[in-house]
């Protein structure tokens, strides 16, 4: 495959890692961000990530160009991946500009976590809507294999297949999302679990630390080698149906964020950055969590991605 020109719009937490993946695979990468600090930090972050994996930063950084001006950044792009803050109006405005400035063949992709891609593209010309897909990467994008590739009713099949193939070719594990639903697949699953976890705390069943202990010492240990649908088949669908019949009436059906989150936020419990969230955190513990996660993911990614069949 010939080397692509890939423009990543937004060089923050996700953008720098996405850029790293394409640059490491030998593609020409442009990172665009209005903030000079973010652009400079992106190169430093990529260098740090690569060093942690024992890779040579110089061989990768030489494939990356920084360009603050969006029109110039996308002018030669085969693929544009947007990773700017999760604000619908901002994404809509940027895609209008990208569609006007990028080549007519360019595949346009959004890394939105939960916004339906159709909404992001709703004001675009038809030919640009036909080239728009969702590519939902997971943090940290240079280490987590999954990218959910989302079609809309307008996405051309050739565009979808191109995006999917490019992601596979750079070592990612793309998965097709056939309908453009909010949250796609992974975030719907993840937040269904978080809703129930927060409800258990709210109802006095256990504290936040116990939720983490339960998950990490039981089904969390199995999850990366035994998916939930494999697990349902393993225990058998009769047992699965019986358990659901007894349990589903008891589970949270909340349709709004928990009032517990409002109370915690009002009391300054914003999460690790604030030193307290659902649990309390010292700076050393926060650094430890990050370090443990990175080391774990590097170890896991040194073996091939999980297949979807036994
Ligand atoms: N953080 C995650 O875990 C995660 C995971 C998957 C998907 N996402 C999604 O990825 C996207 C980016 O998230 P993030 O965590 O990297 O955010 P971030 O705030 O770290 O980075 C966003 C970057 O966009 C830049 N930006 C703002 N306006 C811009 C503009 N007009 N043109 C170009 N760049 C601009 C900002 O300067 C910033 O550097 C969001 O849609 C988010 O929902 C995030």
Of the candidates 168, 208, 53, the residue with the CA atom closest to the CA atom of residue 160 = 168
Q: What percent of the chain has pLDDT over 90?
A: 95
Ligand 1 atom with the shortest distance to the CA of 90:
31
> What spacing in Å lies between the alpha carbon of 270 and ligand 1's midpoint?
19
Of 177, 206, 226, the one marking the end of a domain is 177
Element of type H or E holding 200: helix 186-202
**pLDDT of res. 258:** 98
> Looking at ligand 1, which residue's alpha carbon is closest to its atom 28?
84
Ligand 1 atom with the shortest distance to the CA of 110:
41
Distance CA 24, CA 50 (A): 9
Q: How confident is the model at residue 287 (pLDDT cuts 50, 70, 90)?
A: very high
SS3 string of 118-180?
HHHCCCCCHHHHCCEEEEEECCCCCCCCEEEEECCCCCCHHHHHHHHHHHHHCCCEEEEECCC
Whether 139 has a pLDDT exceeding 90, the answer reads yes
Distance CA 128, CA 107 (A): 9
pLDDT digits (tens, 9 = 90+) for 88-120: 999 999 999 999 999 999 999 999 999 999 999
Answer whether 83 contacts ligand 1 (Cβ < 6 A). Answer: yes
Structural domains of the chain, count: 2
**pLDDT of res. 309:** 55
Does residue 158 sit in the same domain as residue 198?
no
Query: How is the beta sheet containing 79-82 ordered, strand by strand?
Result: 64-66, 28-32, 5-9, 79-82, 107-110, 132-137, 146-150, 173-177
pLDDT digits (tens, 9 = 90+) for 20-31: 999 999 999 999
CATH code (residue 211): 1.10.1040.10
Does residue 38 sit in the same domain as residue 76?
yes
**pLDDT of res. 305:** 52
Instruction: Tell me whether residue 183 is in a domain.
Output: no
Answer whether 94 contacts ligand 1 (Cβ < 6 A). Answer: yes
> What average pLDDT does this structure show over 128-136?
98
Answer whether 69 contacts ligand 1 (Cβ < 6 A). Answer: no
pLDDT digits (tens, 9 = 90+) for 215-272: 999 999 999 999 999 999 999 999 999 999 999 999 999 999 999 999 999 999 999 9
User: Any residues with CB less than 8 A from the CB of 11 and at least 6 apart, and which?
Assistant: 19, 31, 32, 33, 35, 38, 39, 41, 42, 66, 83
Of 131, 148, 177, the one marking the end of a domain is 177
pLDDT digits (tens, 9 = 90+) for 160-210: 999 999 999 999 999 999 999 999 999 999 999 999 999 999 999 999 999
Answer whether 66 contacts ligand 1 (Cβ < 6 A). Answer: no
Does residue 150 sit in the same domain as residue 197?
no
**pLDDT of res. 78:** 98
Ligand 1 atom with the shortest distance to the CA of 35:
37
Average per-residue pLDDT for the chain = 96
Residues classed as catalytic = 113, 136, 148, 187
pLDDT digits (tens, 9 = 90+) for 32-45: 999 999 999 999 99
Answer whether 84 contacts ligand 1 (Cβ < 6 A). Answer: yes
Map residue 8 onto helix, strand or coil.
strand
Instruction: Tell me whether residue 232 is in a domain.
Output: yes
Answer whether 97 contacts ligand 1 (Cβ < 6 A). Answer: no
> Looking at ligand 1, which residue's alpha carbon is closest to its atom 27?
84
Does residue 115 sit in the same domain as residue 196?
no
Map residue 222 onto helix, strand or coil.
helix
Distance CA 133, CA 258 (A): 32
Q: Which two tokens stand for residue 156?
A: 């051309």
> What spacing in Å lies between the alpha carbon of 9 and ligand 1's midpoint?
9
Domain that holds residue 58: 5-177
Of 150, 177, 204, the one marking the end of a domain is 177
Does residue 171 sit in the same domain as residue 193?
no
Q: What percent of the chain has pLDDT over 70?
A: 97
> What spacing in Å lies between the alpha carbon of 90 and ligand 1's midpoint?
11
Instruction: Tell me whether residue 247 is in a domain.
Output: yes
* Helical packing angle, 228-235 and 237-247, nearest 10°: 110
> What spacing in Å lies between the alpha carbon of 17 and ligand 1's midpoint?
11
- Exposure string of 285-294, with b = 16+ CB inside 10 Å and e = fewer, is eeeeeeeeee
Q: How confident is the model at residue 301 (pLDDT cuts 50, 70, 90)?
A: confident
Instruction: Tell me whether residue 307 is in a domain.
Output: no
Answer whether 116 contacts ligand 1 (Cβ < 6 A). Answer: no
> What spacing in Å lies between the alpha carbon of 84 and ligand 1's midpoint?
3
Distance CA 244, CA 252 (A): 13
Does residue 170 sit in the same domain as residue 45?
yes
* Helical packing angle, 208-216 and 186-202, nearest 10°: 130
pTM for this model (two decimals): 0.94
Whether 310 has a pLDDT exceeding 60, the answer reads no
> What spacing in Å lies between the alpha carbon of 210 and ligand 1's midpoint?
32
Q: Which two tokens stand for residue 307?
A: 């297949």
CA angle 195, 199, 204 (to 5 degrees): 155
């Amino acid at each position: 495959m010939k080397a692509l020109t890939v423009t990543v719009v937004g060089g923050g937490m996700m953008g720098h890692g996405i850029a790293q993946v394409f640059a490491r695979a030998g593609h020409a990468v442009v990172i665009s961000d209005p903030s000079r600090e973010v652009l400079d930090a992106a190169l430093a972050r990529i260098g740090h990530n690569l060093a942690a994996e024992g890779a040579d930063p110089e061989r990768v950084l030489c494939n990356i160009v920084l360009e603050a001006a969006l029109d110039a950044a996308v002018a030669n792009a085969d693929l544009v991946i947007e990773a700017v803050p999760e604000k619908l109006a901002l994404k809509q405005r940027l895609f209008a500009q990208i569609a006007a400035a990028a080549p007519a063949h360019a595949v346009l992709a959004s890394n939105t976590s939960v916004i339906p891609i159709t909404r992001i593209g709703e004001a675009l010309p038809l030919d640009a809507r036909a080239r728009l897909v969702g590519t939902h990467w997971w943090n940290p994008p240079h280490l987590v294999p999954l990218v959910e590739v989302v079609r809309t009713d307008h996405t051309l099949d050739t565009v979808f297949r191109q995006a999917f193939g490019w992601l596979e070719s750079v070592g990612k594990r793309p998965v097709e999302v056939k309908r453009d639903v909010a949250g796609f697949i992974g975030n719907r699953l993840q937040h269904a679990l978080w809703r129930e976890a927060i409800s258990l705390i709210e109802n006095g069943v256990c504290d936040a630390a116990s939720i983490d202990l339960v998950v990490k010492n039981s089904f969390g240990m199995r999850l990366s080698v035994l998916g939930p649908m494999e697990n349902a088949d393993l225990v058998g669908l009769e047992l699965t149906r019986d358990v659901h019949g007894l349990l589903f009436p008891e589970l949270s059906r909340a349709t709004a964020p928990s009032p517990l989150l409002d109370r915690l936020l009002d009391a300054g419990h914003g999460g690790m950055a604030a030193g307290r969230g659902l649990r309390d955190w010292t700076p050393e513990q926060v650094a430890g969590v990050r370090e443990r996660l990175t080391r774990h993911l590097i170890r896991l990614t040194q073996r091939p991605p999980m297949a979807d069949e036994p």
